[in-house]
């Protein structure tokens, strides 16, 4: 299991590095191609704006276009139940036991994930 997890982490790190350096080299190429026309500083500013503005505009559009939540009352009931459970845990159960049980449960899920059940 540890070997698979390590392999996945290495592939993820390599993918992130490829994206990071790929985007950087594309920006460098854009800045280099604009440099004879507008100068070094403006070429860097334009290349940076090309990469910054589209995601920024998209994020602003997504945030401003959120629909209002419909099920406010259903969420309120679930929130009250969770608050009551957490309050009961805080009063009567040591937190280290709760955290330890949670960690043991997560470890059990990961360790028994790929085993055949007989």
Note the pLDDT of residue 48: 85
pLDDT in single tens digits along all 118 residues of the chain: 778 888 888 888 888 888 888 888 888 898 889 889 898 888 888 888 888 888 888 888 888 887 666 655 556 677 777 777 767 766 665 666 666 677 777 777 777 766 665 5
Note the pLDDT of residue 74: 54
Note the pLDDT of residue 70: 60
> Exposed e or buried b for every residue in 13-29, given b needs 16+ CB within 10 A?
eeeeeeeeeeeeeeeee
Cα radius of gyration (the chain)? 25
Tokens for 108? 């059990």
Residue 66 has φ and ψ, to the nearest 5°, of: -70, 135
State how far the Cα of 61 lies from the Cα of 77, in Å rounded to an integer.
31
């Amino acid at each position: 299991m540890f070997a698979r997890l390590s392999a996945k982490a290495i592939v993820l790190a390599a993918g992130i590095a490829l994206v990071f350096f790929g985007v950087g080299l594309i920006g460098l190429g854009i800045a280099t191609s604009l440099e004879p026309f507008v100068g070094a500083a403006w070429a860097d500013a334009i290349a940076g704006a090309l990469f910054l503005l589209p995601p920024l505009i998209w994020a602003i559009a997504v945030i401003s276009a959120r629909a209002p939540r419909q099920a406010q009352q259903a969420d309120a009931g679930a929130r009250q139940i969770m608050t009551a459970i957490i309050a009961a845990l805080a009063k009567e159960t040591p937190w280290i036991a709760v955290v330890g049980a949670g960690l043991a449960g997560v470890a059990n899920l990961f360790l028994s994930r790929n085993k055949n059940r007989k």
